[in-house]
């Protein structure tokens, strides 16, 4: 009477599981665009929260006193870790991801409302994130500061 599996049976099962695992990996969707978009939104929201506690906007001259509540949106500056951060983020934006328009500078006032430094309009600030053939748009609303992903 047989009470256990033989070594050949165990090796055969491991090989079959390896083949099934590799087939599953090939069929998994690529969520890099969604991950990059969520990472950028997270960085923007972090800067908005910081701006809520720090008022650096001179309302008479309509100028920012300094750039501490501003975020520079391009691939290199988003990937840079913060100097005073106790824990650095392991996530980095993919090298194949593109952000348009490139080099967008957005500042926030003490109410979390965005102001594009180059353009003080009442229009939403829109930029696109592309990865391979897919594109997602991020829109920052002017009066509320809400971030909409499209």
Q: Are 125 and 148 in contact (CB under 8 A)?
A: no
CA-based R_g, the chain, Å: 23
Tell me the pLDDT band of 116, cut-offs 50, 70 and 90: low
Between CA 33 and CA 55 the distance in angstroms is 33
Strand-pair partners of 131: 97, 134
Task: Kindly state whether residue 23 falls inside one of the protein's structural domains.
Answer: no
pLDDT at 16 over 80: yes
Task: Kindly state whether residue 5 falls inside one of the protein's structural domains.
Answer: no
Per-residue model confidence as pLDDT tens digits over 60-104 = 666 666 677 788 887 777 777 655 555 556 777 888 888 888 778
Task: Kindly state whether residue 15 falls inside one of the protein's structural domains.
Answer: no
The pLDDT, as a whole number, for residue 15 is 96
Tell me the pLDDT band of 18, cut-offs 50, 70 and 90: very high
Q: State the total domains in the chain.
A: 1
- Low-confidence winner among 13-22, 113-122, 140-149 (lowest mean pLDDT): 113-122
- Residue labelled with tokens 């009066």: 143
Task: Kindly state whether residue 13 falls inside one of the protein's structural domains.
Answer: no
Task: Kindly state whether residue 9 falls inside one of the protein's structural domains.
Answer: no
Task: Kindly state whether residue 16 falls inside one of the protein's structural domains.
Answer: no
Q: What is the pTM of this model?
A: 0.69
Residue 115 sits in a domain whose CATH number is 3.55.40
Task: Kindly state whether residue 21 falls inside one of the protein's structural domains.
Answer: no
Please state the rounded mean pLDDT for residues 2-24. 89
Q: Are 140 and 124 in contact (CB under 8 A)?
A: yes
Task: Kindly state whether residue 2 falls inside one of the protein's structural domains.
Answer: no
Residue 117 belongs to domain spanning:
30-149
């Amino acid at each position: 009477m047989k009470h256990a599996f033989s070594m050949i049976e165990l090796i055969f099962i491991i090989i079959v599981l390896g083949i099934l695992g590799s087939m599953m990996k090939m069929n998994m969707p690529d969520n890099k665009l969604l991950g990059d978009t969520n990472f950028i939104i997270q960085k923007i929201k972090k800067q908005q929260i910081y701006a809520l506690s720090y008022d650096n906007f001179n309302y008479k001259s309509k100028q920012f006193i300094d750039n501490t509540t501003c975020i520079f949106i391009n691939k290199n500056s988003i990937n840079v870790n913060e100097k005073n951060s106790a824990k650095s983020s392991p996530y980095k934006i993919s090298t194949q991801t593109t952000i348009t328009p490139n080099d967008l500078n957005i500042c926030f006032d003490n109410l979390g409302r965005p102001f594009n430094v180059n353009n003080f309009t009442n229009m939403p600030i829109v930029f696109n994130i592309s990865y391979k053939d897919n594109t997602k748009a991020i829109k920052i609303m002017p009066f509320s500061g809400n971030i909409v992903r499209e």
